[in-house]
Chain A
């Protein structure tokens, strides 16, 4: 019978054998007791029988020897006693008269009288392996004498040996029978236990929980098996859940970072073995933080779920799509034959994600930036590939939303530089190294200043860092909201200072990123800054890009309406380059359109471009909006714009962005002109 032996220790005794030993031990005790009792009973019976036989003999002799005593015939008595000669156990028999004088005796050859007649007791007794009996010889009431008899107990000893043999044989036979029956019984009874042990060992060794035992019994063992099965069900469920949690993203149900790394490792080995290439796509949703901050995490989560679904629908089943974390997804494409194939896939992904999605009455436009790294040329191991795809993604993001970028080694330097910038930004914020410059906005008709656009600058160790270098980083690290508040506060405060100084009252335009508008505390903080600075809301203009309305138009519009109601003017910056759905213009509380500088630069050069500018101006006018042309640098541009009835000019033609003091001087100059 095979019993599970986990320990290499050969002296280990299995449960089955222990139970057998215990049961046999339990069986042996009663059998031993019974055999002993049987043996004792046999011996006692035989002794009693011996005593009875001897008693009957001595009684017979006593009865038959009366007459010999009466007639004092010792010869007759001796003859009588000699009748015991045939009874070989007899040692001696004696008759004593009333004076205890020996009257007659029979004594076997070699036997001696070892117990005096006076020492005989009323009952038979055993001594020195002999039996001794005595009986008074009576005739009616007359006492005639006493007869004593001694016999050896050789037959008793023989019987003892016989009985011992019988008892031992019965005991041995019983034990053998008990052992065989118990062996069979234990085998049957412990069969399910052994199955359980085998199952538990299998589970312990293989860490697999799919096996179950069949239950066909309604007893405690059945309960035990049911319990183990139920336990395995629970463990398997937990194991599945643990595996799911360890390897899959709970929200999107896509493989998580852990499983991706496993698949990537596996894919690298396969690619090495098969001499094939792989592409790793690192996706990061654009402006997702804005959605999360403005519409809440619930909608943010739903966006992630829908993006995951879109990716799953777009990609082949052989491709591994995983959620890397946050709004980042990683796609592993194996067996890549041509870069062009990857490019088609990327475009397909972008096209699918670009499709607007309606979530709780919010029409959202999502885009993604994608970084691409190839195996083996861009990285020999999984970590390198991930890192390089990530860097590529950041590079793509720098180009604007909805772009993708292939990895090249020069990006590594850029990446290092970006990290350096991040660190320097934190330091700059702490040390207040940022400052504002103000670019005048001049009315076309009067050529009089009507406002400034506040622009941020960063003096990094004597070098001015371009805003397009550090602003995306600030957006990425999540500091844009705080920076915007700081800019707003500075601009409002400065404008109020100028006005209090008696300078020409002008508006100050501050660029609001989409994330700021969609921030839940946007209105409250704007009000607070205006209140703190003392600036009238009508002297504040907010510049937004068209993309502000892409993610959540409803929320943006509601916020803007509140700000407009406060008296703040709303301007659309870089108009014509972003979200091109013009129908929203009529619904938005917009007072100003700022034509993107790229159109202005081409004025007079490209006929079609001039037409676009004219169309924008016509559109703005038809909606009672002011038109601002930025990046105006030449007289020709100015002339054309004036002819097109553009309202306001901003650009180097009139002034570069000015420091606070220069701006104040500029205002002073115009203030004097006005006087």
Chain B
């Protein structure tokens, strides 16, 4: 996609995915967009040039509406310095994830989460190794980053992202 701002794109995509959109709250939609935007500010060292054309995989343990919305949102989008495509997968079917969005409780995982950045829907979601979670402050969606966890994942989070986040060190 060329020349369009993400916010506009987001609106456009939301508009084009009427069915999914209708099912999702504004907050979910924002979360979906945030998830996609996270891929822009996080670098996974395992996704080097040699592994091209592999994608950045976003795994979601949630309803198909959110996943569908997110999938439509990232469709044909490329991010990062290696211009990776973004792929949205169901947690059950994913062979591996770079970014995992969990909304429910702990589930039995079939995949290894070596470098997966786990993003929780909220602080109340219990899930091991959650590195980031959303929260709402003054009616605005915000997110917190556990810097310690991030460091343990051997990923690089952009300072720009850290600047926006509430950081827990």
Q: Is B6's CB under 8 angstroms from A141's CB?
A: no
Q: Is A67's CB under 8 angstroms from B160's CB?
A: yes
A75 to B: closest C-beta gap in Å = 8
For the complex, give the distance between the alpha carbons of A72 and B10 in Å: 12
Q: Is B160's CB under 8 angstroms from A64's CB?
A: yes
Q: Is B34's CB under 8 angstroms from A71's CB?
A: yes
For the complex, give the distance between the alpha carbons of A67 and B37 in Å: 9
* Residue numbers in A under 8 Å from B41 (CB-CB): 67
* Residue numbers in B under 8 Å from A140 (CB-CB): 40, 79
A67-B158 contact given A76-B163, A97-B7, A98-B7, CB 8 Å threshold: yes
* Residue numbers in B under 8 Å from A64 (CB-CB): 160, 163
A144-B6 contact given A67-B41, A67-B158, A70-B37, CB 8 Å threshold: yes
Contact with A along B21-62 (1 / 0, CB 8 A): 000000000000010010011000000000000000000000
Q: Please tell me if A199 contacts chain B, counting CB pairs below 8 Å.
A: no
* Residue numbers in B under 8 Å from A99 (CB-CB): 8
For the complex, give the distance between the alpha carbons of A410 and B112 in Å: 172
A484 to B: closest C-beta gap in Å = 144
A143-B5 contact given A67-B158, A68-B164, A70-B40, CB 8 Å threshold: yes
Interface residues of B in 94-115 (CB under 8 A from A): none
Interface residues of B in 1-18 (CB under 8 A from A): 1-9
Q: Please tell me if A205 contacts chain B, counting CB pairs below 8 Å.
A: no
Q: Please tell me if B147 contacts chain A, counting CB pairs below 8 Å.
A: no
B75 to A: closest C-beta gap in Å = 15
Interface residues of A in 465-482 (CB under 8 A from B): none
Q: Please tell me if A142 contacts chain B, counting CB pairs below 8 Å.
A: yes
Q: Please tell me if A66 contacts chain B, counting CB pairs below 8 Å.
A: yes
Q: Is B5's CB under 8 angstroms from A98's CB?
A: yes
Closest B residue to A145 by beta carbon equals B5
* Residue numbers in B under 8 Å from A69 (CB-CB): 5, 7
Contact with B along A135-162 (1 / 0, CB 8 A): 0000111111100000000000000000
Q: Please tell me if B161 contacts chain A, counting CB pairs below 8 Å.
A: yes
Q: Is A76's CB under 8 angstroms from B164's CB?
A: yes
Q: Please tell me if A262 contacts chain B, counting CB pairs below 8 Å.
A: no
* Residue numbers in B under 8 Å from A67 (CB-CB): 41, 158, 160-161, 163-164
For the complex, give the distance between the alpha carbons of A131 and B8 in Å: 31
* Residue numbers in A under 8 Å from B8 (CB-CB): 98-99
Q: Is B160's CB under 8 angstroms from A142's CB?
A: no
Q: Is B37's CB under 8 angstroms from A71's CB?
A: yes
A144-B161 contact given A67-B41, A70-B40, CB 8 Å threshold: no
For the complex, give the distance between the alpha carbons of A80 and B140 in Å: 18
Interface centre among B5, B161, B163 (most CB of A within 10 A): B5
Interface residues of A in 55-105 (CB under 8 A from B): 64, 66-73, 76, 80, 97-99
A136 to B: closest C-beta gap in Å = 10
Closest B residue to A97 by beta carbon equals B7
For the complex, give the distance between the alpha carbons of A99 and B6 in Å: 12
Q: Is B163's CB under 8 angstroms from A142's CB?
A: no
For the complex, give the distance between the alpha carbons of A145 and B7 in Å: 10
Q: Is B4's CB under 8 angstroms from A142's CB?
A: yes
Q: Is A142's CB under 8 angstroms from B164's CB?
A: no
For the complex, give the distance between the alpha carbons of A64 and B5 in Å: 16
A73-B4 contact given A67-B41, A67-B158, A139-B40, CB 8 Å threshold: no
Q: Is A73's CB under 8 angstroms from B164's CB?
A: yes
* Residue numbers in A under 8 Å from B140 (CB-CB): 73
A177 to B: closest C-beta gap in Å = 57
A142-B161 contact given A70-B37, A70-B40, A71-B34, CB 8 Å threshold: no
Interface residues of B in 143-166 (CB under 8 A from A): 158, 160-161, 163-164
Q: Is B163's CB under 8 angstroms from A70's CB?
A: no
* Residue numbers in B under 8 Å from A76 (CB-CB): 163-164
Interface centre among A68, A72, A80, A143 (most CB of B within 10 A): A72
* Residue numbers in A under 8 Å from B40 (CB-CB): 70, 139-140
Closest A residue to B3 by beta carbon equals A143
For the complex, give the distance between the alpha carbons of A226 and B135 in Å: 106
For the complex, give the distance between the alpha carbons of A64 and B163 in Å: 9
Q: Is A71's CB under 8 angstroms from B164's CB?
A: yes
* Residue numbers in B under 8 Å from A139 (CB-CB): 6, 40
Which one of A72, A97, A143 contacts B4 once the chains associate, using CB atoms below 8 Å? A143
Interface centre among A71, A73, A142 (most CB of B within 10 A): A71
Q: Is A142's CB under 8 angstroms from B6's CB?
A: yes
For the complex, give the distance between the alpha carbons of A70 and B1 in Å: 16
Closest B residue to A73 by beta carbon equals B164
Q: Is A66's CB under 8 angstroms from B160's CB?
A: yes
Closest A residue to B78 by beta carbon equals A140
B103 to A: closest C-beta gap in Å = 19
Closest A residue to B79 by beta carbon equals A140
A104 to B: closest C-beta gap in Å = 13
For the complex, give the distance between the alpha carbons of A80 and B164 in Å: 10
Closest B residue to A74 by beta carbon equals B140
Contact with B along A250-266 (1 / 0, CB 8 A): 00000000000000000
Which one of B1, B2, B5, B164 contacts A144 once the chains associate, using CB atoms below 8 Å? B5
B77 to A: closest C-beta gap in Å = 9
* Residue numbers in B under 8 Å from A145 (CB-CB): 5
A309 to B: closest C-beta gap in Å = 127
For the complex, give the distance between the alpha carbons of A67 and B163 in Å: 8
For the complex, give the distance between the alpha carbons of A342 and B78 in Å: 146
B79 to A: closest C-beta gap in Å = 8
A83 to B: closest C-beta gap in Å = 11
For the complex, give the distance between the alpha carbons of A88 and B43 in Å: 37
B152 to A: closest C-beta gap in Å = 23
* Residue numbers in A under 8 Å from B6 (CB-CB): 70, 139, 142, 144
For the complex, give the distance between the alpha carbons of A66 and B34 in Å: 14
For the complex, give the distance between the alpha carbons of A144 and B41 in Å: 15
* Residue numbers in A under 8 Å from B4 (CB-CB): 98, 142-143
For the complex, give the distance between the alpha carbons of A97 and B6 in Å: 10
* Residue numbers in A under 8 Å from B164 (CB-CB): 67-68, 71, 73, 76
Q: Is B3's CB under 8 angstroms from A141's CB?
A: yes
Closest A residue to B165 by beta carbon equals A71
Closest B residue to A65 by beta carbon equals B160
Q: Is A142's CB under 8 angstroms from B1's CB?
A: yes
Interface centre among A68, A139, A145 (most CB of B within 10 A): A139
For the complex, give the distance between the alpha carbons of A98 and B7 in Å: 8
For the complex, give the distance between the alpha carbons of A38 and B15 in Å: 61
* Residue numbers in B under 8 Å from A97 (CB-CB): 5, 7
For the complex, give the distance between the alpha carbons of A98 and B3 in Å: 10
Closest B residue to A75 by beta carbon equals B140
Binding site for B on A (CB under 8 A): 64, 66-73, 76, 80, 97-99, 139-145
27 contacts between A and B (CB under 8 A): A64-B163, A66-B160, A67-B41, A67-B158, A67-B163, A67-B164, A68-B164, A69-B5, A70-B6, A70-B37, A70-B40, A71-B34, A71-B37, A72-B7, A98-B4, A98-B8, A99-B8, A139-B6, A139-B40, A140-B79, A141-B1, A141-B2, A142-B4, A142-B9, A143-B3, A143-B4, A144-B5
Q: List 9 additional A-B contacts (Cβ < 8 Å) besides A66-B160, A143-B3.
A: A71-B164, A97-B5, A98-B5, A140-B79, A141-B2, A141-B3, A142-B1, A142-B9, A143-B5
Binding site for A on B (CB under 8 A): 1-9, 34, 37, 40-41, 79, 140, 158, 160-161, 163-164
Closest 8 CB pairs of A and B: A67-B160, A98-B5, A70-B37, A73-B164, A76-B164, A141-B2, A71-B164, A143-B5
